[in-house]
Copies of this chain bind each other. A is one copy, B any other.
């Protein structure tokens, strides 16, 4: 699972720590999300997308394997 978190974060000039704070998680969680190491909960994905001024399906990029 790839994401555009880093890209959107850069666009709004917000840091990992600030995003984490606004979303209500730890900074490490944001790091793992950006690197695609987590399959986040739906609510967390929603909060991240909204905080970045976007939608879930725009922030998180699904691949074919995610359907199997």
Binding site for B on A (CB under 8 A): 1, 24, 39-43, 45-47, 50, 55-57, 60, 62, 66-68
A55 touches which one: B43, B57, B60, B68 (CB < 8 A)?
B57
25 CB < 8 A contacts A-B? A1-B42, A1-B43, A24-B68, A39-B41, A39-B42, A39-B43, A40-B41, A40-B42, A41-B41, A41-B42, A42-B42, A42-B45, A42-B56, A42-B60, A43-B62, A43-B66, A45-B45, A46-B66, A46-B67, A47-B66, A47-B67, A50-B67, A56-B56, A56-B57, A57-B57
Shortest beta-carbon distance from A4 to chain B in Å: 14
